[in-house]
Structure 1
Amino acid sequence: MTDIAVEYRHNYPLDPLDVVRVFDQSGLKRPTGDLPRITRMFAAPCLVLSAWVGNELVGVSRSLTDYAYCCYLSDLAVDKKYQGAGIGKELIKRTRAVIGDQVSLILLSAPDAMSYYPTQGFEPAGSAFLIRRKH
């Protein structure tokens, strides 16, 4: 599936229904039954990159960053139909290009993606702490 024409967009306005579809079809667990919450998640993030095949949103990454020291990659999702085509890798690459090499890229992996991130240059960080959301 590497021969598909994918267009990447930086901070392009996204329809929350398209985002819900990509999350649901990617297998990434997000509160997709709560459309107002998804809308808020994408209303004012610092960095959103999206991948499109024609007029169809097929991948999305959302990061919070200060553009100087750290960047938290909070969402990386690619529709399962397009997984394996390098779209996730390209979204990470483009995120890194925007933030520059002085900025650490940090994420908390979904359990099913733990083996993916080391293949993309991420190293495990044993010093992370987390207070989980209630829902």
Structure 2
Amino acid sequence: MALQNIDFQREYSLPTEEFIDVLNRSTLGERRPVNDVARIESMLKNASLIITARNNGKLLGVARSLTDFAFCTYLSDLAVDVQFQKSGIGVRLIRETKLHTPTAKLILLAAPAAIDYYPKTGMTKFSHCFLLDDVNALVVKG
């Protein structure tokens, strides 16, 4: 499918079922709480920026970000239906996200299978990232 047949746009709300569907069609659903509807609803409600890729209304891809629109944008979810991957939709979703936050640095954590994808888009690999899942893992001194 040619990119000119795809509408890229900012959406201020996205139906939960539609988001879960594209997550599952992209394989990102394997690493997202797609069976916890309340948590997915919260993810959507608290997103600062949602960019979608649609063809005749059908959701083909989504970029969901948390941003202050000035300094940093965390691209939390980049999902493209597997049938449309490698067609440029993912790169265009990244581009549209960056265009909506031009002064902010765009940051994302790559899925293991996508680590080799992002350098091909022109993004720079950055090794200084840290992750905390469990607050009890923090070492507090004093």
Whether the 8 Å contact between 1:12 and 1:50 is mirrored in structure 2 is no
Q: What is the aligned partner in structure 2 of residue 72 from structure 1? A: 74
**Identity of paired residues, percent?**
39
Give the direction of change, closer, same or farther, for the CA distance of 1:133–1:109 in structure 2 (3 Å limit). Answer: farther
Per-residue deviation, 1:3? 5.8
Answer 1 or 2: which has greater helix percent. Answer: 2
Amino acid at match of 1:22: V
Q: What is the aligned partner in structure 2 of residue 107 from structure 1? A: 108
Q: What is the aligned partner in structure 1 of residue 5 from structure 2? A: 5
Mapping for residues 40-79 of structure 1, pairs under 5 Å: 40-79=42-81
Distance between the aligned counterparts of 1:80 and 1:57, measured in 2? 12
Paired residue secondary structure (2:76): strand
Paired residue secondary structure (2:92): helix
Whether the 8 Å contact between 2:47 and 2:66 is mirrored in structure 1 is yes
TM-score, normalisation: structure 2: 0.87
Per-residue deviation, 1:133? 6.2
Q: Deviations over 1:84-116 (max 9, x none)?
A: 22111111011111111x311111111111011
Distance between the aligned counterparts of 1:11 and 1:123, measured in 2? 27
Q: Which structure 2 segments of 5+ residues have no match?
A: 136-142
How many aligned positions are there? 133
| Deviation >2 Å, runs of 4+ | 1-4
Q: Deviations over 1:54-92 (max 9, x none)?
A: 121110001111111111110000011111221111110
TM-score, normalisation: structure 1: 0.91
